[in-house]
């Protein structure tokens, strides 16, 4: 028997019991006549004690050979500790060891395996299996497991059926590049890995499964950022005979269930905001609503007074940072302005107005605006003495995006983005199509299967080009703390409307047929009204834990170059494999 208990289990009540523990050596403290060794496993740490007086010389000598990360089995008696350690649950006891078996030795690990570690990112990723021995990393993976279990419990209670859909498929249009897999049996042909199971889940609705879900890997060949991975996991769902309202309620229910069961947090009902309002008030379709600082437009009070920057701008818009006037010296403002002018944000400048005592103001544009005028600005913001108004101007969409960055930065500086506070929001009524000036064509804002709102269907089928820009969709996103957790839509279930959508998106009839003929065909056999949603599972883990990086919640993540440092992938394959696959180009590269 390897163990009677785990390393996190024994308490003062167990004193006197004979036990067997197995685990990894965290470290030892050799006092000469006495030796303490910490034994660790997933459940905790228990102290082993070897004393020269009480144990045989052999056993004592053996204990002295133990190195960090050796795997051992220790048999002994639970005794009360003299100097207790209140920091760990097993801190009242220790094990007086009578037998010690070294199950496996270990090389000295390349970094410290403890809550804090000295290992850099690359090193930890190369030895991810050792990194995963560390408690905080292990906790993340265990949290993830609990989250997926609770997802299954909830969705099962709502009659959802878990169905696996294939990984070797044909391209799915989620707007990213596909990862492709060459087919040996069909030389020159390729499978694509799914960017999502979108078309399959819709087909399952046509099959009458009624409610489908899957916790599923998706693959997107995109440029990577901290919160992106080439393969990631979604909670993917689809429902039949539902309206947008039914879908939002079901997934609000899921989200509340997950917060309650994993964090014991009770979320209030989620507010809803239209896409237009989100863009107008926050300059973002995923606003962080943990704090206010909404945008206020100043066109009517800032233009036409001879300040050319504003006069020539499409929009003058600002935010009010409460109580910040005193916290920003001229130098601080200069720095903030430079931060806004970095190419990543690209603002031309930044105008501030500090509200001072007795209806006076301090601002570099003071000579263009009287105190009376500045007071009308302050009124619009509800600004009071000590507040600081920050104003940007320029082209509408661009300026709002820049102001979004400034708002988030001010939120950070003012400590308004508490990771322990959760502010969920449904963003609804997304546009159906997005006009791309460069390529002069429409893109689907969500994806090509998204339905326009009922009220817009007629306009979509018969309207002109301009009309198409104003079509609204039954499409929605769930945003928590400024992070897009998921999105979905009610789908088109009518062949003609779907064909029209492909047509607007620039597919010829033949292309639409070649790529999605199977779905269009299926629509002709009694497709029920349906819709769905997908949550980014890794992101949900991260947001629940108040962190940004999804990588912490993935057992074996890839780095920023999309590389698995541990198994060293991607890597070349040998020539015979390439020959079998009929791949010539890569072969030349290898040679």
* Binding-residue total with ligand ASP (CB under 6 A): 9
**Nearest distance from residue 447's CB to ligand ASP, in Å?**
6
- For ligand ASP, the closer of residues 256 and 530 by Cβ is 530
3-state helix/strand/coil string of 256-275 = HHHHHHHHCCCCCCCCEEEH
Residue ranges in 416-435 that form contacts with ligand ASP under rule CB under 6 A? none
- For ligand ASP, the closer of residues 91 and 532 by Cβ is 532
- Distance CA(495)–CA(504), nearest Å, equals 14
Cα 214 to Cα 19, 135, 152, 164, 180, distances in angstroms: 43, 29, 9, 7, 22
- Cα–Cα nearest to 72, from 6, 9, 1, 2: 2
Q: Can residue 314 be called a binding residue for ligand ASP (CB under 6 A)?
A: no
Using the rule CB under 6 A, give the single segment among 268-276, 302-310, 405-413, 530-538 that binds ligand ASP: 530-538
- Please name the residues in contact with 426: beta carbons below 8 A apart, sequence gap of 6 or more: 248, 252, 270, 271, 272, 273, 476, 477, 478, 479
- Cα–Cα nearest to 430, from 418, 441, 443, 419: 443
Residue 191 in 3-state DSSP? strand
Q: Can residue 533 be called a binding residue for ligand ASP (CB under 6 A)?
A: yes
Q: Can residue 488 be called a binding residue for ligand ASP (CB under 6 A)?
A: yes
- For ligand ASP, the closer of residues 25 and 478 by Cβ is 478
**Nearest distance from residue 454's CB to ligand ASP, in Å?**
18
**Nearest distance from residue 491's CB to ligand ASP, in Å?**
8
Among 45, 216, 235, 534, binds ligand ASP (CB under 6 A): 534
Q: Can residue 532 be called a binding residue for ligand ASP (CB under 6 A)?
A: yes
Query: Do residues 210 and 159 lie in contact, with contact meaning Cβ atoms separated by under 8 Å?
Result: yes
Using the rule CB under 6 A, give the single segment among 160-168, 225-233, 500-508, 529-537 that binds ligand ASP: 529-537
Tokens of 41: 């496993």
**Nearest distance from residue 200's CB to ligand ASP, in Å?**
10
**Nearest distance from residue 570's CB to ligand ASP, in Å?**
24
Residue ranges in 61-80 that form contacts with ligand ASP under rule CB under 6 A? none
- For ligand ASP, the closer of residues 38 and 515 by Cβ is 515
**Residue tagged 């769902």 (tokens):** 237
- For ligand ASP, the closer of residues 352 and 476 by Cβ is 476
- Distance CA(548)–CA(550), nearest Å, equals 6
Q: Can residue 402 be called a binding residue for ligand ASP (CB under 6 A)?
A: no
Among 96, 114, 174, 513, binds ligand ASP (CB under 6 A): 174
- For ligand ASP, the closer of residues 22 and 202 by Cβ is 202
What separation, in Å, do the N-terminal and C-terminal C-alpha atoms of the chain show?
54
- For ligand ASP, the closer of residues 232 and 259 by Cβ is 232
Per-residue binding string, ligand ASP, 441-480, x by CB under 6 A, is ----------------------------------------
**Nearest distance from residue 277's CB to ligand ASP, in Å?**
22
DSSP 29: E
- For ligand ASP, the closer of residues 231 and 409 by Cβ is 231
Using DSSP, how many helices (H) and how many strands (E) does the chain show?
A: 19, 22
- For ligand ASP, the closer of residues 232 and 369 by Cβ is 232
Beta strands, E only, 31-140: 34-41, 44-51, 71-80, 93-104
**Nearest distance from residue 442's CB to ligand ASP, in Å?**
18
- For ligand ASP, the closer of residues 165 and 324 by Cβ is 165
- For ligand ASP, the closer of residues 198 and 240 by Cβ is 198
**Nearest distance from residue 14's CB to ligand ASP, in Å?**
50
- For ligand ASP, the closer of residues 72 and 534 by Cβ is 534
Strands ordered across the beta sheet of 530-536: 161-162, 211-219, 231-240, 530-536, 483-490, 475-480, 424-428, 272-274
Using the rule CB under 6 A, give the single segment among 48-56, 316-324, 356-364, 483-491 that binds ligand ASP: 483-491
Cα 548 to Cα 139, 227, 301, 530, 552, distances in angstroms: 16, 7, 39, 33, 9
**Nearest distance from residue 225's CB to ligand ASP, in Å?**
17
- Distance CA(369)–CA(487), nearest Å, equals 45
**Nearest distance from residue 486's CB to ligand ASP, in Å?**
7
**Nearest distance from residue 533's CB to ligand ASP, in Å?**
5
Query: Do residues 451 and 476 lie in contact, with contact meaning Cβ atoms separated by under 8 Å?
Result: no
Residue ranges in 188-227 that form contacts with ligand ASP under rule CB under 6 A? 196, 198
**Nearest distance from residue 437's CB to ligand ASP, in Å?**
24
Task: Please calculate the CA angle 463-468-471 and round it to the nearest 5 degrees.
Answer: 105
- Cα–Cα nearest to 238, from 230, 229, 247, 225: 247
Beta strands, E only, 183-310: 190-192, 211-219, 231-240, 272-274, 296-297
What DSSP string runs through 454-499?
A: HHHHHHHHH--HHHHHT-BBSEEEEEETTEEEEEEEEBP--HHHHH
Using the rule CB under 6 A, give the single segment among 38-46, 322-330, 505-513, 526-534 that binds ligand ASP: 526-534
Which residues bind to ligand ASP, rule: CB under 6 A?
A: 174, 196, 198, 487-489, 532-534
């Amino acid at each position: 028997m390897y163990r009677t208990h785990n390393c996190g289990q024994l308490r003062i009540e167990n004193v006197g019991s004979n036990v067997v523990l197995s685990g990894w050596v965290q470290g030892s403290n050799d006092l000469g006549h006495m030796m303490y060794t910490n034994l660790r496993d997933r459940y905790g740490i228990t102290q082993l004690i070897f004393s020269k007086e009480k144990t045989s010389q052999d056993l004592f000598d053996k204990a002295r050979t133990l190195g960090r990360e050796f795997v051992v089995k220790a048999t002994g008696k639970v005794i009360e500790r003299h100097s207790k350690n209140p920091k760990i649950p097993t801190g009242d006891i220790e094990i007086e060891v009578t037998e010690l078996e070294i199950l496996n030795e270990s090389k000295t690990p390349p970094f410290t395996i403890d809550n804090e570690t000295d290992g850099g990112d690359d090193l930890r990723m190369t030895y991810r299996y050792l990194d995963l021995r560390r408690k905080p990393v292990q906790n993340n993976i265990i949290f993830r497991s609990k989250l997926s279990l609770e997802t299954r419990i909830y969705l099962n209670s709502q009659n959802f059926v878990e169905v696996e859909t294939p990984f070797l498929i044909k391209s799915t249009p989620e707007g990213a590049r596909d990862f492709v897999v060459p087919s040996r049996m069909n030389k020159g042909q390729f499978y694509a890995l799914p960017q999502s199971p979108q078309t399959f889940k819709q087909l399952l609705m046509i099959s009458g499964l009624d409610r489908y879900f899957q916790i599923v890997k998706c693959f997107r060949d995109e440029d990577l950022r901290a919160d992106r991975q080439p393969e990631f996991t979604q909670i993917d769902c689809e429902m039949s005979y539902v309206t947008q309202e039914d879908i939002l309620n079901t997934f609000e229910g899921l989200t509340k269930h997950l917060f309650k069961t994993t964090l014991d947090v009770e979320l209030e009902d989620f507010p809803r905001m239209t896409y237009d309002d989100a863009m107008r008030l926050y300059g973002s379709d995923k606003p962080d609503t943990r704090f206010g600082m909404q945008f206020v437009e100043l066109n009517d009070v800032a233009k036409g007074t001879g300040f050319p920057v504003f006069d020539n701008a499409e929009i003058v818009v600002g935010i009010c940072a409460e109580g910040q006037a005193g916290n920003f010296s001229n130098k601080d403002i200069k720095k903030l302005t430079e931060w806004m002018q970095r190419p990543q944000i690209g603002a031309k400048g930044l105008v501030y107005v500090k509200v001072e005592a007795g209806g006076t103001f301090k601002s570099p544009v003071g000579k263009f605006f009287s105190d009376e005028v500045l007071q009308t600005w302050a009124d619009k913001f509800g600004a009071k003495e000590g507040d600081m108004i920050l104003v940007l101007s320029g082209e509408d969409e661009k300026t709002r995006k820049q102001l979004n960055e400034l708002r988030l930065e001010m939120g950070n500086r003012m400590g308004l983005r508490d990771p322990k506070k959760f502010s969920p929001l449904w963003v609804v009524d997304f546009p159906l199509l997005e006009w791309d000036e460069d390529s002069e064509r429409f893109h689907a804002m969500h994806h090509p299967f998204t339905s326009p709102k009922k009220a817009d269907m007629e306009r979509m089928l018969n309207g002109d080009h301009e009309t198409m820009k104003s079509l609204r969709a039954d499409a929605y996103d769930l945003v928590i703390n400024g992070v897009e957790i998921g999105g979905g839509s009610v789908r088109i279930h009518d062949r003609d409307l779907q064909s029209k959508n492909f047509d607007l998106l620039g597919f010829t009839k033949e292309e639409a047929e070649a790529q999605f003929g199977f779905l269009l065909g299926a629509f002709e056999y009694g497709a029920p009204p349906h819709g769905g949603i997908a949550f980014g599972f890794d992101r949900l883990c991260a947001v629940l834990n108040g962190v940004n990086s999804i990588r912490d919640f993935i057992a074996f993540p890839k780095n920023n170059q999309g590389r698995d440092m541990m198994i060293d992938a991607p890597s070349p394959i040998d020539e015979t494999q390439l020959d079998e696959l009929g791949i010539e180009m890569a072969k030349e590269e290898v040679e």
